[in-house]
Amino acid sequence: MFTPRVRTSAPLRALGKGPVAPSPSANTAPGARPVRFALTVPLCALFALGSLGGCCTRPRAEGLQAPGTAALPQPQGDVTNAGPEAGVAAPTTPTPQPLVANQGILGAPPGAVPMSLAPIVRRVRGSVVSIFTAQVEMVMPQWGFADPSERVRRGAGTGFIIENNEILTNNHVVEHAQHIEVQLDNGHRYPAQIVGRDPRTDVALLRLTGATGAQTQPITLGDSDVAEVGDWVVAMGTPYGLSQTVTTGIISAKGRTGRDVPLDPAGYYSFIQTDASINPGNSGGPLLNLRGEVVGINTAINREAQGIGFAIPINMVRTILPSLRQHGRVIRSYLGISINDVDESVAQAQHLPDTDGALVMDIDPQGPAALGGMQPGDVIRTFDGTVIHNAGELSWQASNAGIGHQATVLVRRAGQELTLSLVLIAMREPTR
């Protein structure tokens, strides 16, 4: 279905995309369109749009050799008191208590006092990787008869291993990359290939080649739906080339849409907002709960503010993973309408008790909505029995309902409620 039309309210800046500097990653190519990235390295400035920045590092024009990075320290195992041995008393230093949140903490008893994130970091650091990209560009001479020359644009970002040597990251970290290398926590580098990309959600799936299962450590994916505003979270990544950097904060808000984070208008957004420090190069890194589970992918920042970062909910990523693995892209269903959020004036005109729903602005005359009897001015209140709170929710649900799915839609028209039955078709995706 069409993407909702919304007006941007604050200048946000994409930190770049492409092989060198998007959101918390470090991938960007000059002239690229604004993307929702937040963790890009200095090079991300190339893709600046307003104040929202990507977290990846932008590609640098230089020789073909990838930027050197010192080997990362080996993760240290948990230290525990072994107890008296050979007549020697065990140390009496108390073991630090991990942080606590309502969702529970790794290894912490109920009611434990927040003391240290070290147990969480030790558990997951082997799963967090640094991503380095390269893209060869042809440079035309400004004058004279010199031949075109080549230059290499480099980028850097972050990712995390999920299973079968697969790595999740942001699409803008690798979108234009011709060569991708992944550095593990032990400092070893391996080539990686793109399994699938989805620009609309800014998610990419990679696969390591050459690394064995014994060398990789999958991370646990959590449930972003149960995460609450106020929960403690931990961000890990490679900001400005500083691998395995750990920051912490809380979930500041949930459900941030295109109205709050004006990025690509064709995208699907329901960001987790956090005040955990996110910088260029962090793009694609994990946002973790206190059990060490991934609840989001760090993606974008507001560069005109402090402590305003955005992460893609991991449950959105779970939804599209099967399609990325099978098709290399996301195959979406299509409702055939252009929509917007419902404001107070529309709610009053339709005698609605609230502003929940999606206002139909325009209809594809050959699409499922038109064939099912929908009209411009209708307010869609529910989709398959699920209450629709805004236009972004409807876009996401309809696009993932499935081709050929017969959807039941409750609409409000001239103060009356109508139930429509629509058969969804395949969305026509542009080549990106």
Q: Annotated active-site positions, please?
A: 172, 202, 283
DSSP state of 308: -
Going by C-alpha positions, the residue among 252, 251, 271 that lies closest to residue 392 is 271
Cα separation, 145 vs 198, in Å, equals 41
CB contact set of 48 (below 8 Å; sequence gap of 6+):
13, 14, 15, 16, 303
The encoded tokens of residue 44 equal 């991300």
Which residues, other chains included, contact 166 with Cβ-Cβ below 8 Å and sequence gap of 6+? 195, 205, 206, 207, 208
88: which DSSP letter?
B
DSSP string over 356-395 = -SEEEEEE-TTSHHHHTT--TT-EEEEETTEEP-SHHHHH
402 Cβ neighbours under 8 A, 6+ residues apart: 333, 424
Give the Cα separation of 383 and 378 in Å (integer). 13
**DSSP string spanning 213-267?**
GGG--PPEE--TTT--TT-EEEEEE-GGG-TTEEEEEEEEEEEE-TTTS---TTS
Query: Residue 57 in contact with residue 44, Cβ under 8 Å?
Result: yes
In this structure, what DSSP letter does residue 75 have? Answer: P
Expressed in percent and rounded to 5, the helix, strand and coil fractions of the chain are 15, 35, 50
Residue with tokens 């589970």: 293
Backbone angles phi, psi at 52, to 5 degrees: -85, 125
Handedness of CA 367, 369, 372, 377 (dihedral sign): negative
